[in-house]
Amino acid sequence: MQGKIQFDYEQLNMNLEFPHKAPKGYRYESESFKRDVIAIWIYHCRRFDYNLGSEVRCIWGFYNCKTKEYFAPINSKTVGKRVNFSDTTPYSAMILNQTPLEAAFL
C-alpha cells in the first residue's frame, strides 16, 4: 500500500508517491533541504517528558527531485549514499550492515 506525501518545495508543488506507509503511531513530513533535495522526516506521535511533550522526529532520508533518487542520511544535515528504495524500511533509508551470519538469521 502506498501513501502520498505532499511536498512543497520552494515554488514547486508536487505530489510524490512515497511507497512506504507510515507505521502505526508515526507519520511522515518533508521540508526543503537544498536546491534540488528535500528531507523526509518520520515523526513518532507519542509524547515524551524529556522534550516537554512535543513529538519526536527523526530523519528518514533525502530525496533528490531532479534525479528522482533516494539517499540515506549520515545525520539530519548530511546526505549520504544513494540507496535502492526496495532496500529501505518504513523507519529509515539507512541500510543495515550485517555479517553473513546475521543475514542468515533474519
Confidence check: pLDDT of 1 > 50: no
> Which pLDDT belongs to residue 11?
33
Give the phi and the psi of residue 101 in degrees, each rounded to 5: -65, -45
> Which pLDDT belongs to residue 16?
60
> Which pLDDT belongs to residue 17?
64
pTM: 0.74
Mean pLDDT value across residues 37-48: 84
CB 16 within 8 A of CB 85: no
Residue among 70, 78, 80, 65 at smallest CA distance from 19: 70
> Which pLDDT belongs to residue 23?
86
> Which pLDDT belongs to residue 47?
73
Confidence check: pLDDT of 73 > 90: yes
Mean pLDDT value across residues 58-77: 92
pLDDT grade for 63, boundaries at 50, 70 and 90: very high
> Which pLDDT belongs to residue 12?
37
